[in-house]
Chains A and B, each alone.
Chain A
Amino acid sequence: MDYLDILRLLDSTLRLATPLLLACLAGLFSERAGIFDIGLEGKMLAAAFASAAVAVWASAPVDNPQLGQLSGLGWGWQAAWLGVFAGIVASVFLSIIHGLASITLRGNQLISGVAINFLAAGLTVLISQNIFKRGGQTPPLTGDARFSEITLPFAETLSSVPIIGLMYSEVISGHVIFVYVGLLCVPLTWWVLFRTRFGLRLRAVGENPGAVDTAGISVTRLRYAAVIICGVLCGLAGAYLSMGTAAAGFGRDMTALRGFIALAALIFARWRPWAAMWACLLFGFLQAVSTYYPKVDVFGLFVIPSDFMEALPYILTVVILAGVGGKAIPPRAGGVPYVKER
């Protein structure tokens, strides 16, 4: 393994960490406000489908036989952005269902999350099959309808500079916009949470909603706000999966439990934004390793089978949940619907 291999691995790490990071920050907003959300997975999936489907439709020629009765919009790059918007809308819609169940109707948040995951798994394929008739997949996104990689300034020139320059051009540069947005969301989340009035109230409502209520602030409104932010971020994560990766389209169950890995990362990160980033990078790295090295030969003694390498990030999730590195204390009011005391 030479330096370039390592750089490729890191490059891949960044790509693979991005959906986890966006979903993890989504979960962070929700759980910091006291709403547990195991429906991240479903929201990402719904967004992945909605964005790909809408982008396909918007970018298709006006009289497109491929779409059956639907005629396309014939848009250019705008189609991709409309797709992102659609992804966010789909995800926020599911968020609002979760909000309705867990805030307004004081239902069980775990059950609601599970329902949303299944709902997304069923509906996406059902609708996709109904429109595109491709076994649940969307037609591949091509050209402007998908997001292409951005070469950062001077990446070409600097690539000749050893070590640092190469790092810049190989790892930092050359990602789709979602990767940069994801990374920017980390300081942004930190700032919102710890430097704004909204953040103060959000954190308070996850710890003691009674304190927020008696301070004259609506617990309901705050929690809905948090849940909707969660939806927006999950929407971005899903849009990235179908529009910004090599998949270039939606496929059945394409989120592959990333929503749950993001939750594990969130717990590992103790619900803190910067730590969340490192946790997601760690998981991204593991996924990168398992894709680059499907079978690992251990000193010629034996070969670690590919099934094991593929399961590795999932096994690590369990290990992390087992409390390696201390006990994680979630926000105190997490998972409990707010009822005024009697």
Chain B
Amino acid sequence: MKSIPRWADLALIPFLNLFLAFFVAGLVVVFIGEDPFRAMKIMLTGALGSDYGIGYTLFYTTNFIFTGLAVAVAFHGSLFNIGGEGQAALGGVGVAVVALTLDGTHWLITFPLAILSAAIFGALWALVPAYLQAKRGSHIVITTIMFNYIGAKLLGFLMNGPLKKEGSMAPESRRFEDGAQLPFMQDIAGWFGMEMTRTPLNISFFVALICCVLVWLLIWKSKFGYELRAFGFQQPAAIYAGINPVKITVITMVVSGALAGMMALNTVMGEQQKLVLDHVQGAGFVGIAVALMGRSHPVGVLLAAILFGVLYQGGTELAFEIPAISRDMIVTIQALVILFMGALENLVRFPVEGMFARLSRGN
């Protein structure tokens, strides 16, 4: 059995893979006829060069923490949840239902209920694929993708019907009243007498951070996490130990869906303050890259989410400065990250293992 030092496994290999992904992304930029270094500089200053940029970066980061954790939790049970997009979309409905009914009250009342409702709606949208996987062996990758599409149609139906703002042509809900508007970061800073530029970054960012801690406790410190990891590593052994596979699969996906659903707090209740048709904007898919990059560990997910936050905010600035590099560049980078850090991981791992084997033989 080949073994390599822990630091190489945890740091060197991911770093080299990430480097490759960005190297290829740079080639794409060159192919388009632009200067990748200039592009990178614009991105970094756009994302981190001002508190405005940082605010937006962390706003996106919040989305990706939720969806990244969602994918990561499922990964531990060797379940591949690509349904984050649909689960987050439905989470938005959950937020809207609470917000539209209770926005006459105070955000301290609506917020906890909205968290719950977003989680429940997201979880419900993951429940059917989970149940079908557990009971009928239906391929969860395909079912969750189908549920993304079905979810989009369902949202479309709701936005053109029951949830639509009266007298409006646009498929969106009415704006939430003050009682269902989350405090922005600049508001929170204001409580402490500080001043910040207006950005959509809001209190859900802290919810996302708390979720990181909770997920860490869940996976590595709880009995459920123990069973989940056992199940993810070796299903037959889990059954031998009396772990119920149906229960594990369903609960894992429910937790995963709930996390994805909670993303809607940030976009619907925080940023938009109304339900719009496409509030997820691909964040569900970014979660896959984030989870892979973060090795399904909450700390890794947090770091990867920040990186993708930088990419998204920087990418927006970039598309503004260099129109040839549109937002689709981000999708491409995301694909390259998934490719090099996930599927082609061994492209780096095999040579590195070989190198360490040679080193140890040399000793």
Contacts and interface: CB of A to CB of B under 8 A. Distances in A.
A and B touch in their complex, CB below 8 angstroms: yes
Interface of A: 38, 97, 100-102, 105-112, 114-123, 125-127, 129-130, 136, 257, 260, 263-264, 267, 305, 307-308, 310-311, 314-315, 317-318, 321-323, 327
B294 to A, nearest CB: 14
**Binding site of B, secondary structure by majority: helix, strand, loop or mixed?**
helix
Contact of B139 (A107, A129, A267, A311): A267
A130 B323 CA distance: 9
A255 to B, nearest CB: 12
Nearest to B151: A311
Given A38-B142, A110-B80, A122-B331, A130 B339 contact: no
Contact of A114 (B139, B146, B338): B338
A118 B139 contact: no
A323 B146 contact: no
A315 B152 CA distance: 12
A-B interface, 7 closest residue pairs, ranked by CB to CB distance from nearest = A122-B331, A122-B332, A112-B343, A118-B335, A119-B335, A111-B342, A115-B339
Contacts of A308: 153, 157
B177 interface: no
Given A118-B335, A314-B149, A322-B132, A125 B328 contact: yes
A101 B347 CA distance: 8
Contacts of A101: 339, 343-344
A318 B326 contact: no
A119 B332 contact: yes
Contacts of B150: 311, 314-315, 318
Given A105-B350, A321-B139, A126 B326 contact: yes
Interface string B190-220: 0000000000000000000000000000000
Nearest to A97: B339
Interface in B138-178: 138-139, 141-143, 145-147, 149-150, 153-154, 156-157, 160-161
B292 A111 contact: yes
B175 to A, nearest CB: 24
B346 A106 contact: yes
16 contacts: A97-B339, A105-B343, A105-B346, A115-B342, A116-B335, A116-B339, A118-B285, A118-B335, A119-B335, A119-B336, A125-B331, A126-B328, A263-B139, A264-B142, A264-B146, A314-B146
B345 interface: yes
Nearest to A256: B149
Given A97-B339, A112-B343, 12 more contacts: A100-B344, A101-B343, A105-B346, A118-B338, A122-B329, A122-B334, A126-B332, A307-B156, A308-B153, A308-B157, A318-B128, A321-B132
B137 interface: yes
Contact of A317 (B141, B142, B332, B350): B142
**Binding site of A, secondary structure by majority: helix, strand, loop or mixed?**
helix
Given A111-B338, A115-B338, A315-B150, A122 B157 contact: no
A121 B328 CA distance: 8
A227 to B, nearest CB: 13
B328 A129 contact: yes
Interface of B: 28, 31-33, 80, 82, 128-129, 132, 136-139, 141-143, 145-147, 149-150, 153-154, 156-157, 160-161, 285, 288, 292, 324-326, 328-336, 338-339, 342-347, 350
Given A114-B338, A310-B153, A108 B32 contact: no
Contacts of B157: 305, 307-308
Given A111-B338, A119-B339, A260 B329 contact: no
B138 A323 contact: yes
The listed residue with most A CB atoms (<10 A of its CB), out of B28, B139, B329, is: B139
B141 A110 contact: yes
Contacts of A136: 328
B296 to A, nearest CB: 12
A126 B332 CA distance: 8
A125 B326 CA distance: 9
Contacts of B141: 38, 110, 114
Contacts of B288: 114
Contacts of A126: 28, 32, 325-326, 328-329, 332
A209 B82 CA distance: 30
Nearest to A118: B335
A321 B342 CA distance: 26
A322 B345 contact: no
Nearest to A104: B346
Contacts of A318: 128-129, 132, 138, 143, 146-147, 150
Contact of B82 (A114, A130, A315, A322): A114
The listed residue with most A CB atoms (<10 A of its CB), out of B33, B154, B346, B347, is: B346
Nearest to A330: B139
B334 A307 contact: no
B284 to A, nearest CB: 12
Contacts of B325: 126
Nearest to A124: B328
Contact of B328 (A102, A122, A323): A122
A118 B334 contact: yes
Contacts of A310: 153
B331 A121 contact: yes
A8 to B, nearest CB: 25
Contacts of B342: 107-108, 111-112, 114-115
B51 to A, nearest CB: 30
Given A101-B339, A122-B328, A311 B142 contact: no
A107 B346 CA distance: 7
Nearest to A102: B343
Contacts of B324: 129-130
The listed residue with most A CB atoms (<10 A of its CB), out of B142, B149, B343, is: B343
Contact of B143 (A106, A108, A121, A321): A321
B224 to A, nearest CB: 24
A107 B343 CA distance: 5
Contacts of B328: 121-123, 125-126, 129, 136
The listed residue with most B CB atoms (<10 A of its CB), out of A38, A108, A123, A318, is: A318
Nearest to B340: A115
A310 B153 CA distance: 8
B67 to A, nearest CB: 14
B28 A123 contact: yes
